[in-house]
Each structure stands twice: as structure tokens, then as C-alpha cells.
Amino acid sequence: MAGEVLKLRGVGVKRGGAELLSGVSWEVGEGERWVIAGPNGAGKTTLLQVAAALLHPSSGSVRVLGEELGRTDVFELRPRIGIASAAVAERVPAGETVLDLVLTASYAILGRWHEEYDSTDLGRAAALLEALGAGDLIRRRFDTLSEGERKRVQIARALMPDPELLLLDEPAAGLDLGGREDLVNRIAALADDPLAPTMVMVTHHVEEVPPGVTHALLLRKGGVVAQGKIDEVFAEEALSACFGLPLQIARQDGRWYARAAPRNGR
């Protein structure tokens, strides 16, 4: 395998008596593009939070970018990881501008204070927003943006610190069809870019998986159903077991489609 980016061994997470994850072992190599898929409540966000060094597991071991959680300063580790998630978006201070939201990612903080940013920082933030199709939003307040605009700005923020690991939690959730397709294309461009960081995205919908994703992990009830190369994992048997219903899967032009298997030939 290419250089190791994530290594989880027997990871469990318990909260309030509930087992959110159990026995999760998973390795991600440098340059790989992963999707974590599974039904509501499967533990996808929890797993991403562990990978982001935002959540410490109750059991097992986690190594992120060569650092063992529990034995490393997570405040030094976190700026090496870019994350876009609803949990981050919810904590954006009222009135924060798009530019400040992207800039503050350099310090892995939310809310501009008295930090200094130079023209290189400003140029990078502007270029990233431009690349995500959000260049004209730079002076806007984040809290006035549409859902689709917010998603693109969040990805620009996640990329700002030039992370070694990029984590996207349901990047297309809440988008209309045009917005979803636009975002899938933008993530596909990232996935294709050999200079882009190792990437892990979470989704419920196989239709949201961009071409260029190389690996998949299927989660159900906190446990791994299947993981490995996407062509092998996105098979009818494994996806049906993961989502708990018989599915038919199709692939066209690098995109995946799923529907419930017809009953009685209908």
C-alpha cells in the first residue's frame, strides 16, 4: 500500500450506553480516494470524526498521518486535516464573511479574531473559492448563502491549510439536482488531481459518488460490512446487506446508480 494516512484497529465508540462503532479496522493509503456509505445511523459521521481527530475512540487504536491518537497533540494534528461537515457549518459565528471563514482554516479555528494573514493567504483563499465556483461570494456573509453555495465554500475552507487528508461529510446533502451534479463534478476534478490530498467522503447515496473514487467502506449498525476497491465493494450483495434491502446496482461513465430490486419482475 502507498504511505499510510489512516490506520484504525478494532475501533469502538460508545456514547450513553449505545455502541456507535464497534470493531472497525480500516487502512487508508496516501493518494487514495474513499467513500464511506451506509444507511442513516450507521456510524458514518462518527467514523469521520474519529479520522479527523475530533473524537477519541472508547476502544482500539487510531493512527492519523502517522500520529497515534491519545499520544499526540491533536491541536498540532488537526490543521493537517481538512474537514467539511454540517457540524462545522453549524458552529460558524453569525456574520462571519466567506473570506474569513476560509482564512481561519489555516489555524483550524472558527471566527476571525486578531490573527494576521498575508497576501499569500488572501490569494490562496481567493483561488480556492474561484476553483470551487464560489469566487463571487468572497465578500458575502456565510449565513446568507444558499445550501449549495455553503457546500462549495466549506470545501474551499477544508482545502485552505493544504491538508494531507481531506474529509467531506455528505457534501451533496440538501442540494437540488443541478447543485448535486455541479458538486459531484467538482469533487471528481479534485479526485483526479494527483496533487490533491488523500480524500474520504461520506454519503448515503451511491449516485453522489464521483468518478475517480478508488475505494469504499460500507457501514451498518456501527460495523464494517465490506471495504476495499470500489469495483469489488459496490456489488449488489454487499450494498444490499449494507442498506438492508435487495438492490440492483448499475454503473455508467464512472457513476453508480442503485434502486430496489423489482419484485415479481416489476
Interaction of residue 157 with ligand ATP, rule CB under 6 A: no
Q: Calculate helix-pair angle for 147-159, 177-192, nearest 10 degrees.
A: 10
| Pairing mode of beta strands 198-203, 33-37 | parallel
Residue 12 near ligand ATP by CB under 6 A: no
**83 binds ligand ATP per the rule CB under 6 A:** no
Binding test (CB under 6 A) with ligand ATP, winner from 20, 88, 103, 125: 20
Which of these segments, 16-24, 76-84, 96-104, 147-155, binds ligand ATP (CB under 6 A)? 16-24
Quote the least distance from Cβ 249 to ligand ATP, whole Å: 19
Q: Does 90 bind ligand ATP (CB under 6 A)?
A: no
User: Min. distance of Cβ 260 from ligand ATP in angstroms?
Assistant: 18
User: Could you give the strand order of the β-sheet that contains 165-169, starting from the edge strand earlier in sequence?
Assistant: 81-84, 165-169, 198-203, 33-37, 215-220, 223-229
Task: Using CB atoms within 10 Å of the CB of residue 190, give its burial: 0 to 12 exposed, 13 to 18 middle, 19+ buried.
Answer: buried
CB nearer to ligand ATP: pick between 40 and 120: 40
Q: Does 227 bind ligand ATP (CB under 6 A)?
A: no
Nearer to ligand ATP (CB atom), residue 20 or residue 53: 20
| 36 vs 158, beta carbon nearer ligand ATP | 36
Candidates 34-42, 94-102, 121-129, 153-161; binding stretch for ligand ATP (CB under 6 A): 34-42
Beta carbon nearer to ligand ATP, 87 or 235 = 87
Choices 40-48, 94-102, 141-149, 183-191; region in contact with ligand ATP by CB under 6 A: 40-48
Q: Per-residue contact track with ligand ATP, 171 to 210, x per CB under 6 A?
A: ---------------------------------x------
Using the minimum distance from each CB to ligand ATP, give the nearer residue, 16 or 262.
Answer: 16
Give the shortest CB-144-to-ligand ATP separation in angstroms: 25
What part of residues 41-70 is at the interface with ligand ATP (CB under 6 A)? 41-46
Q: How far apart are CA 121 and CA 105, in angstroms?
A: 11
Distance of CA 95 to the CA centre of its chain: 25
